[in-house]
Chains A and B, each alone.
Chain A
Amino acid sequence: MDSAWLIPAFPFAGFVLNGLWGRRLSRKQVGMVACGAMALAFATALGLFWLLLRHSPDQRVWEPVYYTWMAVGDFSVNASFLLDPLTMVMVLVVTGVGFLIHIYSTGYMHDDPGYARYFAYLNLFACAMLILVLAGNLLVLFVGWEGVGLCSYLLIGFWYEKQSASDAGKKAFIVNRIGDFGFLLAIFLTFWTFGTLDFREIFHAALLRFQPGDGVVTAITLLLFVGAVGKSAQLPLYVWLPDAMEGPTPVSALIHAATMVTAGVYMVARCSVLYALAPLSMGVVAAVGCATAVFAATIGLVQNDIKRVLAYSTVSQLGYMFLGCGVGAYVAGIFHLMTHAFFKALLFLGAGSVIHALGGEQDIRRMGGLRRQLPVTFWTFLAASLAISGIVPFAGFFSKDEILFETLVTGHGVLYVLALGGAALTAFYMFRLVFRTFLGESHVDPESAHHVHEAPLSMAVPLMVLAVLSLVGGWVQVPMLENGKRLGRFLAPVFEDAEGLLTEGTAHGSHASLWTEGVFMALSVVVALAGIGLAYRWYVADPTRPERVAARFSRAYRWLLNKYYVDELYQAVVVELLKRLAETVHEWVDRAAIDAVVDGAGAFFRHAGTHLRRIQTGLVQHYALSILAGACLLILAALAV
């Protein structure tokens, strides 16, 4: 539909209004503008969804073209959108969850002096994110891609007076730029390979021209994945995301959990045809995803900052999504993206509610026993924790299990075992968080203990809505039931070609028996319950135990607590080294070599002038002598030759 442009236009209008006149508007008006913009975007998205559903599945593709953005010779790229079921899912998640988080923010940020600025940025983010998911070609996607990066930078560093916040924002932008470097090269290679950047044309041409395993497609997909690794915080570029927690908590929920960080997954899913043509890239995606899932989960085990635990959890869950895409289970990857948006947004907002209640405290060692004082927060947080841990019938169970199961049936046994182990870790660290925050004795410092209050309605309602979604969100894709996989059917036209390629000549997608599926499902739940059980034993039944374990394995504990010293490594090897290099070059090349030559040349002529001036004595005798000497020399020279 041509009116798709309205979806990002609403938040953009909100950004302009609040950005230019926000200081003159009252808080209420600012909030109304920002939330209203998101509500309108969400309503438009729902309208388009309805229209989309009215078409038959093979006609659910719209490609509105608005104008020619850049055209030089044979290169031309349009400002165009692509609206298909995949986009629709993303748009609904972004506008829906985005709307809820805007509402929540009106409560959370209520006393902040930068209220209007905050909402302007948040609206701008929504606009950029919507452009990203609606993009009809790689370059428009890149516009959204960089746009969300900018908003992330601005919002992480929202409290710019804090050094750590502005450091974190800058780090996020630069690390993302490293990923973008790959993305840009991928765009160039795509254009010079296919002569277009338009998604549908690329995929069409790729299917005609390339066989699975062709080098060019492998190169394109690997370069694209470099971009995805940056944006979606995978190994080795994940380091910016934990630091991004310096931003206001609703920002962490919206940008660094539900939407922006999933852009990489979306991009891989969007280019599923290309990935299906590049088995090597698929393998890399799956391996990196799985490794990140486990790696980040281990760090999450011991962190004490409630938001950092959630941040590592996000990194880990994004790894699962990539694992899904990497083994060819695109639907599962997108499904997990969707459910994760619900429960992880909820976890962050719940954490925000706790932090809000405790007047800014984020250390779980100074929490505990908050269940009674914060009942809404507790119950919703619990729902989200059950969902992420993968307990039936919460949303995360269905999506994570589908990824695990697909990993297994596509023959990735090792990855399956690792991912299953990661699931146990997930359940453990999440319930460690739940128990230390809400159960047990209170370690809240007495000063703020009697200020503890449940969140206002503006914050509580989004929590409750998201809790419901964390429960029922998975029911759109139920395995083993007839007609259970509705999401899969809705998305089927998008992944048709990729899946066709993947199943070609292999036993992929061979239907494992219902019995097998049931057994592995039960195994997932058992593993998750084991994780929860262990967390209960350590943190509720015997609270002194973790310390003893930490003391016993102190070296391992320190490594985990210090996040394997990766940040320190990067700082020393990359940042400091480059700065040192720059200083040396400045000193020796710019100053000592080039400028010395330049100044030297000047000085030479000046000195030469001063000395030569002495020849100009003004005495005729001297000149006559010189002439004579010159003439003699000339004659001698002539004779010599």
Chain B
Amino acid sequence: MDNVFFPILTAMVFTPLLGAAILVFVDRENPTLQRWVTLLAMAAVFVFALIVYGGFDPTRTGMQYEEWAPWVPALGISYHLGVDGISLLLVALTAFLGPICVLACWRDIQEHVKEFLVCLLLLQTGMLGVFLALDLVLFYLFWEVMLIPMALLILVWGHPARRVYAAVKFFLYTMAGSVFMLVGILVLYFYQAKTTGTYSFDLMDFMALRLPFRLQLWLFAAFGIAFAIKVPMFPFHTWLPDAHTEAPTVGSVVLAAVLLKMGTYGFLRFNLSLFPEASIFFAPLMVVLALAGIVYGAFMCLVQKDLKRLIAYSSVSHLGFVMLGLFTFTLQGLQGSLIQMINHGLSTGALFLLVGMIYERRHTRMIADFGGLSTPVPRLAVFFMIATLASIGLPGLNGFVGEFLILLGTFKVKPLWAAVGATGVILAAWYMLWMVQRVFFGQVQSDENRLMADLVPREVALLVPVVACMVWIGVAPTPFLKKSEPAVGRVLARVQRVQHTAHLNSTWNPECLVSWYLADRK
């Protein structure tokens, strides 16, 4: 299956970059052509992703479509890409949303169109690179590269009032986390050099290491901080509402749908795989934070007055579910988390698209300014309703599959955790339906609302595929789950192996910490 005649992953990652390069030479006065070029590049990426997805062999656990080339051989840095069941779905989601984002900003962005599109394309390269990179320097590079266009999106095309604050907050928050990760990567590198004599940043080499428990704890923390901020986990979440609120529509969509997943992906790919003992050790803490995020995010939603802020806080709650699933160390929990990453991308992405469409028409996002919108914009209301239902986990739509599997896995480990998590499901119905009620039901109060125009065909066309995917995953999730099961199973096996050999107790008490820490020292 791997024997595609050209390096398809490289093509996928760098097509947007190529598109950006071409854009530079397109006439500034011709934004339509610029949009088409971007759309074409994004569509090409999507086609590549489809080929990869179709050719992916779900029975194999390892990396597929691997590409390797030396990059800085002196330091052991290589150019190494590959895809496995964990990254496959995320890559597919990223590629799928690319063209949709271009269509979504077709009318929305009228100033500095070219620069905007360049940012969007760079972002796409960065995101795909993060999911596909198997060399940690390469990974870190993409991780940081992606930060800049995103911050620019907020800074330049954001809403004037607070965009500088939001962009700076986003940038500093993420950078602060990344620094710890960089240190972590270097520590891994030198540890490997010291113990085995190989100088390499390759993930596969790191996977072969057996790290002492003490070191694992520090490295887990270093990587964990970076990822926890990205997720964002409670209490590192406060950058998210600001960034979402101030970002332009497409920025919010990409941020919610893909960027946040890098945090959860990072936990799954690095923390769980590289530091299994530390993962077990930290699991109770992570679960508590995840549960706190679920409930806390939901509560915050109840008091929000701004649509985007509300959806941003709902992301905190939903990503809490993902984190909960990861740290249950059950196959159902992990698989549920992975599919929930996709689900959240689709449903929250759709919600941000829809809020963007409302904003484009009314230039406000305050819930109090609306009411009764079902009457002037019935089509928009229908799509909004479907996205809401997907988001609150109605069976038959995608959200249910993820939440159900996560809670099922959680229940196996500790029924109480599942019970606490499940309260998030009740609260979600409350805050989401209350929001829908205040926006779409009731009497139309103002003339601006009464004269709102319903969706145009372009908007319907970009929403229909998203909704179709929601239904598809909801009705028949098995084909998606099957693609990722071997890879997820392998990560789980790494954790479970040490769970059994080391007899790690998942009760979190200082005595354990001290005794293990000292035991390791001898």
- The residues of A with any CB-CB pair to B shorter than 8 Å are 67-75, 139, 142-143, 146-147, 150, 153, 157, 160-161, 163, 166-167, 170, 173-174, 177-178, 180-181, 184-185, 187-189, 191-192, 578-579, 581-583, 585-586, 589-590, 594-595, 598, 602
Contacts and interface: CB of A to CB of B under 8 A. Distances in A.
A581 B482 CA distance: 42
B407 interface: yes
B169 interface: yes
Interface stretch (B71-79, B277-285, B341-349, B440-448): B440-448
Contacts of A67: 476, 478
12 contacts: A70-B401, A72-B335, A146-B400, A147-B394, A160-B441, A161-B442, A184-B407, A185-B411, A585-B299, A585-B300, A590-B300, A595-B238
Contact of A189 (B415, B422, B475): B415
B441 A157 contact: yes
B167 interface: no
A355 B169 CA distance: 59
Interface stretch (B94-102, B135-143, B146-154, B430-438): B430-438
Given A166-B442, A174-B429, A177-B425, A70 B478 contact: yes
B300 A582 contact: yes
Tell which of A75, A173, A578, A589 has the most Cβ of chain B within 10 Å: A75
Contacts of A157: 437, 441
Contact of A69 (B375, B408, B422, B477): B477
A602 B475 CA distance: 47
Contact of B394 (A139, A150, A598): A150
Q: Top 8 A-B pairs ranked by shortest CB distance?
A: A188-B411, A73-B331, A166-B441, A160-B441, A143-B395, A582-B302, A582-B299, A72-B335
Nearest to A117: B378
Contacts of A185: 411, 415, 418-419, 422
A259 to B, nearest CB: 18
Interface in B336-369: 336
Contacts of B404: 70, 139, 184
Contacts of B425: 177, 180-181, 184
Interface in B410-469: 411-412, 415, 418-419, 422-423, 425-426, 429-430, 433-434, 437, 440-443
- Which of B169, B418, B429 has the most chain A CB within a 10 Å cutoff? B429
Contacts of B372: 160-161
Interface of B: prevailing SS? helix
A582 B418 CA distance: 22
Contacts of B389: 150
Interface string B159-170: 000000000110
Contacts of A582: 299-300, 302-303
Interface string B289-302: 00000001001101
Given A166-B442, A170-B437, A189-B415, A75 B408 contact: yes
Interface residues of B, number: 56
B332 interface: yes
Given A150-B389, A185-B422, A585-B299, A594 B235 contact: yes
B477 A181 contact: no
B395 A583 contact: no
A167 B408 CA distance: 32
B478 A68 contact: yes
A173 B168 contact: no
A142 B400 CA distance: 11
B10 to A, nearest CB: 32
Interface string B372-411: 1011000000000000010000111000110011011001
Contacts of B423: 181
A193 to B, nearest CB: 11
Contacts of A583: 303
Given A181-B422, A585-B299, A72 B238 contact: no
Contact of B168 (A579, A594, A602): A602
A602 B429 CA distance: 36
A594 B434 CA distance: 27
Contact of A160 (B235, B415, B440): B440
Given A69-B478, A73-B331, A166-B442, A173 B433 contact: yes
Given A143-B395, A184-B422, A185-B411, A72 B429 contact: no
A72 B481 contact: yes
Contact of B476 (A69, A167, A598): A69
A511 to B, nearest CB: 44
B418 A146 contact: no
Given A146-B395, A150-B394, A594-B235, A73 B332 contact: yes
A contacts with B: majority SS: helix
B106 interface: no
Given A69-B477, A72-B332, A161-B375, 18 more contacts: A67-B478, A68-B478, A70-B478, A70-B481, A75-B405, A139-B404, A146-B396, A147-B394, A163-B442, A170-B434, A174-B433, A181-B422, A184-B407, A188-B415, A189-B415, A192-B412, A598-B169, A602-B169
A177 B418 contact: no
Contacts of A143: 395-396
A71 B336 CA distance: 11
Contacts of B407: 184, 188
Contacts of A188: 407-408, 411-412, 415, 418
Contacts of B477: 69-70
A16 to B, nearest CB: 12
Interface of B: 168-169, 172-173, 235, 237-239, 296, 299-300, 302-303, 331-332, 335-336, 372, 374-375, 389, 394-396, 400-401, 404-405, 407-408, 411-412, 415, 418-419, 422-423, 425-426, 429-430, 433-434, 437, 440-443, 475-478, 481-482, 485, 489
Given A181-B425, A185-B422, A594 B238 contact: yes
B386 to A, nearest CB: 11
B334 to A, nearest CB: 9
A161 B296 contact: no
Contacts of A579: 302-303
B485 A161 contact: no
Contacts of A595: 238
A74 B485 CA distance: 12
A330 to B, nearest CB: 27
Contacts of B481: 70-72
B478 A71 contact: yes
Contact of B443 (A73, A161, A590): A161
Contacts of B400: 146
Given A72-B405, A185-B411, A586 B331 contact: no
Contacts of B336: 72
B389 to A, nearest CB: 7
A187 B411 CA distance: 10
B395 A177 contact: no
Nearest to A179: B426
A549 B333 CA distance: 61
Contacts of A147: 394-396
Contacts of A598: 169, 173, 238-239
A140 B457 CA distance: 35
Nearest to B176: A601
B314 to A, nearest CB: 13
A160 B373 CA distance: 10
A166 B375 CA distance: 14
Contacts of B396: 143, 146-147
Nearest to B299: A582
B309 to A, nearest CB: 10
A68 B173 CA distance: 44
A579 B489 CA distance: 42
A481 to B, nearest CB: 44
A192 B332 CA distance: 12
A399 to B, nearest CB: 32
Contacts of A184: 404, 407, 422, 425
A70 B405 contact: yes
Nearest to A191: B408
Contacts of A189: 411, 415
